């Protein structure tokens, strides 16, 4: 038994344990909701970037890039996302580190971030090498990026049940019907309007306003999220940049 966490000789194998060839990258999963013509409800969509070089030249991949040695992880995620897609979400959350030995021809550990953006924040790009895809209908992506998206979707569909994650997909004020539609799109099923209203009104996460959405139906009250609850949800590391 060794009792240090500094580099220690391995019991077997001739390679150094300092991992000289391991590089660190960051990638980002940006989810939004998008409704196509004829669709009953919106679906979850994310931007992908076409790779311009090997490995996997020509394939679609998550936006990302290498960590710079003088750059924090969060800063690297924001920078590489902006460089590749022009997107600049106000808050990126760390999702998971992917580091399987065979995920790339060379050894790369990717720290993956994710964020939600409202449909009106989708960058209007004329770049043919950046495109939004339905998260449930992806091509074969570079590296292990299909697995990464599947994990992010699983987290999204779990987290929506106990947190205010839908916040990131809505304007500051919204009706209960608009909130319900976000949940329906993420969970891919209809929710009963009366049950939904009862459930969200039973929590302290929503604050009613004095304003109403007027349209072809009867006016619907506008709500906003309770920021106090939302900030606690993000945890001690989840401070806005």
Residues that bind a second copy (CB under 8 A): 1-8, 10, 13, 15, 17-25, 27, 49-53, 61-73, 80, 83-86, 94, 96-97, 99-101, 107, 109, 111, 125, 127, 129-130, 150-151, 154-155, 158, 162, 235-237
In the complex, minimum distance from the CB of residue 240 to a second copy, in angstroms, rounded to a whole number: 17
- Taking the CA atoms of residue 35, residue 37, residue 39 and residue 45 in that order, the dihedral angle to the nearest 10 degrees is -30
- 53: DSSP letter: S
The nearer residue to a second copy, 1 or 194, going by C-beta atoms, is 1
Do residues 61 and 48 lie in contact, with contact meaning Cβ atoms separated by under 8 Å? yes
In the complex, minimum distance from the CB of residue 109 to a second copy, in angstroms, rounded to a whole number: 5
The nearer residue to a second copy, 147 or 227, going by C-beta atoms, is 147
The nearer residue to a second copy, 97 or 231, going by C-beta atoms, is 97
Q: Determine the Cα–Cα distance for residues 68 and 58; give it in Å rounded to an integer.
A: 25
In the complex, minimum distance from the CB of residue 234 to a second copy, in angstroms, rounded to a whole number: 11
In the complex, minimum distance from the CB of residue 63 to a second copy, in angstroms, rounded to a whole number: 6
- b/e per residue, 55-79, with b = 16+ CB within 10 A? ebeebbbbbbbebeeeeeebebbbb
Any bridge partners for residue 114, and if so which? 29, 93
In the complex, minimum distance from the CB of residue 84 to a second copy, in angstroms, rounded to a whole number: 6
The nearer residue to a second copy, 97 or 177, going by C-beta atoms, is 97
Is 188 exposed, middle or buried, given 0-12, 13-18 or 19+ CB atoms closer than 10 A? exposed
């Amino acid at each position: 038994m060794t009792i240090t966490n500094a580099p220690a000789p391995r019991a077997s194998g001739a390679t150094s344990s300092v991992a000289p060839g391991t590089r660190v990258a960051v990638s980002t999963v940006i989810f939004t909701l998008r409704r196509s013509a004829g669709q009953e409800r919106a679906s979850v969509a994310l931007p992908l970037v076409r790779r311009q070089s090997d490995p996997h030249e020509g394939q679609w991949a998550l936006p990302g890039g290498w960590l710079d040695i003088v750059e924090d992880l969060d800063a690297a995620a924001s920078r590489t996302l902006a460089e590749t897609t022009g997107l600049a979400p106000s808050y990126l959350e760390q999702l998971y580190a992917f580091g399987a030995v065979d995920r790339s021809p060379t050894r790369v550990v990717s720290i993956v971030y994710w964020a939600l953006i409202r449909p009106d924040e989708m960058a209007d790009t004329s770049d043919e090498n950046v495109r939004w895809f339905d998260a449930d209908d992806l091509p074969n992506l570079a590296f292990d990026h299909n697995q990464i998206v599947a994990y992010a979707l699983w987290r999204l569909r779990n987290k929506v049940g106990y947190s205010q994650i839908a916040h990131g997909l809505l304007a500051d004020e919204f009706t209960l019907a608009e909130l319900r539609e976000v949940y329906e799109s993420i969970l891919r099923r209809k929710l009963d309007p009366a049950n939904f209203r009862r459930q969200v009104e039973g929590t302290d996460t929503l604050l009613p306003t004095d304003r109403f959405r007027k349209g072809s139906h009867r006016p619907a009250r506008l709500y906003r999220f309770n920021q106090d609850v939302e900030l606690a949800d993000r945890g001690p590391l989840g401070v806005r940049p």
